[in-house]
Amino acid sequence: MERKGPVLMGKYELGRLLGQGTFAKVHRARNLETGMSVAIKIVDKERVLKVGMMDQIKREISIMRLVRHPNVVELYEVMATKTKIYIVMEYAKGGELFNKVVKGKLKEDAARRYFQQLISAVDFCHSRGVCHRDLKPENLLLDEHGNLKVTDFGLSALAETKHEDGLLHTTCGTPAYVAPEVINRRGYDGCKTDIWFCGVILYVLLAGYLPFQDSNLMEMYRKIGKGEFKFPNWFAPEVRRLLLKILDPNPSTRISIEKIKEHPWFRKGLDCKPEIVDTEVKELAIVPQTRTPCSNLNAFDIISLSAGFDLSGLFEGKEQKKEVRFTSNKTASTIISKLEDISKRLKMKIKKKDEGLLKIEGSKEGRKGTLEIDAEIFEITPFFHLVEVKKSNGDTLEYQKVMKQDIRPALSDIVWAWQGEPPLQQPLPPPPTTENQESQQFHAAST
């Protein structure tokens, strides 16, 4: 760090200001324990509450925790006082991709490499039900090795925020990058608008300027609405064909991410020289989601299971829930086997239902009938599961006694963390980064 600054929460030494918005500032900082550089977004809690933006902050934090991917800026931790919320994340020496673009167009191979990483990150976000909605070079940062990372999830949307028509209706994004369907204000598919953003970014990387630009905003919107743009003469035929499919003003016929990844221009460099990343995280990014037992979960459910990222204490009083939940880094079959063993030991019957639901039944009548416990397993990733356990019949006191004295202790070897409690096991490994890697700055523009 350039100079010694104030120490935050007894853990981080604050450095220079990186960015400032209406409700937040972003500083570079140094972890006093590890010496690692980080970026800390400091949110003014009082001002955010006054304008009713606390849900947006909660959503932003939750999404950052949910979309852990090599090409997405990583969230380290969240801390809070009565007046401030501190969001600690990666910091990168490389700065914004925008700084490269303003110097002129990139070589085709370099542009393609950034585009491949962008598509990988966006595809992963979509697989987790997250639409970014504000993709642009200013929100794409570079680490010291030149790898791209997506940041600024302040305008992102989760799948459950859609209206009854299944579409999003909030007009957001940067004018020159925004998709035609957003301008039309008739509702839009957030994933398809993200694909449009990616197309504009690819054009900018290769051309050095925007495809849609005009001093008159309405004229620019007219061009966007009609998909009216021209290619520079140095654009190769293959990339022209790809961009025409991405910058299709009709979202229903716009190319999908799956098809982009199959396109010959996109595939160059991938087939013969695969990207070297951690195997487990790579698999999470590309394995098709063939099973969807966790469709009723959202980012807030998942994030609340880790004590380090339980946001309820930051924003609201804890809600008393009837069910209990835990996370496990064991396979579904291991979890089922454990539950079967426990049931056998307790002389209870266990029945397997559809979509990861198990029903455990007592052998004797209790005060309020036979005790029945439902255990439902949700797949977050193939190697990380959420299990919800709740009483479906019988006496509540009997259920609580069995849970406390028998079931919970017996589950200890497969439980990573119970909801709202410290992890029983070591945390899952973070997404791959090089040793002592310093990552992305984080923008406060949206908040």
The CATH number given to whatever domain includes residue 29 is 3.30.200.20
Proportion of the chain above pLDDT 90, given as a percent: 38
CB 251 within 8 A of CB 190: no
In this structure, the answer to whether residues 257 and 128 fall within a common structural domain is yes
Query: Model confidence over 359-397: pLDDT tens digits?
Result: 999 888 877 788 999 998 877 666 667 888 989 888 888
Shared domain for 138 and 245, answered yes or no, is yes
What does the alpha-carbon distance between residue 447 and residue 444 come to, in Å, rounded to a whole number?
A: 5
**Same domain membership, residue 104 and residue 85:** no
Cα separation, 279 vs 32, whole angstroms:
31
Give the single-character DSSP code of 261: H
Exposed, middle or buried by CB within 10 Å (0-12, 13-18, 19+), for 399?
buried
Q: What percent of the chain has pLDDT over 70?
A: 75
The pLDDT value recorded for residue 297 is 43
**Cα 208 vs. chain centroid, distance in angstroms?**
29
Q: Hey, how many other C-beta atoms are within 10 angstroms of the C-beta on 335?
A: 21
Residues 376, 394, single domain; the answer is yes
Distance (Å, rounded) from C-alpha 221 to C-alpha 244?
18
| Residue 168: count of CB within 10 angstroms of its CB | 22
CA distance 136 to 182: 16
CATH number at residue 104: 1.10.510.10
129 within domain boundaries: yes
Q: Is the pLDDT of residue 281 over 50?
A: no
Q: How far apart are CA 128 and CA 122, in angstroms?
A: 10
Supply the pLDDT for residue 173: 52
Task: Check whether residue 165 and residue 256 sit in a common domain.
Answer: yes
Q: How many residues does the chain have?
A: 447
Residue 441 lies in a domain: no
> Among 90, 111, 141, which residue terminates a domain?
90
* Pairwise CA distance, residues 157 & 60, whole Å: 9
β-partners of residue 389 are 324, 375
Domain range for residue 234? 98-286
End position of a domain, from candidates 90, 110, 128: 90
Write phi, then psi, for 406 (nearest 5 degrees). Answer: -120, -55
C-alpha 345/C-alpha 334 separation (Å) is: 17
Tell me the pLDDT of the chain averaged across its residues: 78
pLDDT reading at 168 higher than 80: no
Structure token pair of residue 226? 């009609």
Q: Is residue 428 part of a domain?
A: no
Same domain? 335 vs 397: yes
pLDDT(204) > 60: yes
Question: Is 429 a member of any domain?
Answer: no
Shared domain for 262 and 182, answered yes or no, is yes
Tell me the sheet residues that pair with 78: 87
79 and 227 share one domain: no
Q: Which of 165, 163, 197, 206 is nearest to 179 (CA)?
A: 197
Picking from 419, 214, 157, the residue whose alpha carbon sits closest to that of residue 308 is 419
For the cut 60, the answer to whether the pLDDT of residue 282 exceeds it is no
C-beta of residue 117 within 8 angstroms of C-beta of residue 201: no
CA distances from 224 to 19, 199, 228, 254, 447 (A): 30, 12, 6, 14, 27
Residue 396 lies in a domain: yes
Q: What are phi and psi of 83, to 5 degrees?
A: -115, -15
Is 55 an annotated catalytic residue? no
3-state secondary structure of 353: coil
Distance of alpha carbon 325 from alpha carbon 78, whole angstroms: 22
Distance CA 292, CA 332 (A): 14
Residue 187 lies in a domain: yes
Reported as a pLDDT band with limits 50, 70 and 90, residue 421 is low
Tally the domains of the chain: 3
| Rounded Cα gap, residues 393 and 366, in angstroms | 10
Q: Please indicate, yes or no, if residue 30 is contained in any of the structural domains.
A: yes
| CATH number of domain containing 378 | 3.30.310.80
Q: CB-based contacts of 304: which residues, under 8 Å, 6+ apart? A: 310, 311, 312, 419, 420
Whether 373 and 324 have beta carbons less than 8 Å apart is answered as no
254 domain-assigned: yes
Q: Please indicate, yes or no, whether residues 255 and 140 belong to a single structural domain of this protein.
A: yes
Considering the candidates 44, 55, 109, 134, report the single residue annotated as catalytic: 134
CA distances from 171 to 55, 159, 175 (A): 17, 16, 10
pLDDT (0 to 100) of residue 309: 42
Whether the pLDDT of residue 111 is over 70: the answer is: yes
Q: Is the pLDDT of residue 186 over 60?
A: yes
Q: Is 50 annotated as a binding residue?
A: yes
Q: The tokens of 114 are what?
A: 């950034």
Written as one letter, the residue type at 382 is P
Domain boundary (226, 252, 286) is at: 286
φ, ψ (nearest 5 deg) of residue 301: -60, -45
Do 192 and 312 fall into the same domain?
A: no
Same domain for 369 and 276: no
Same domain, 64 and 145: no
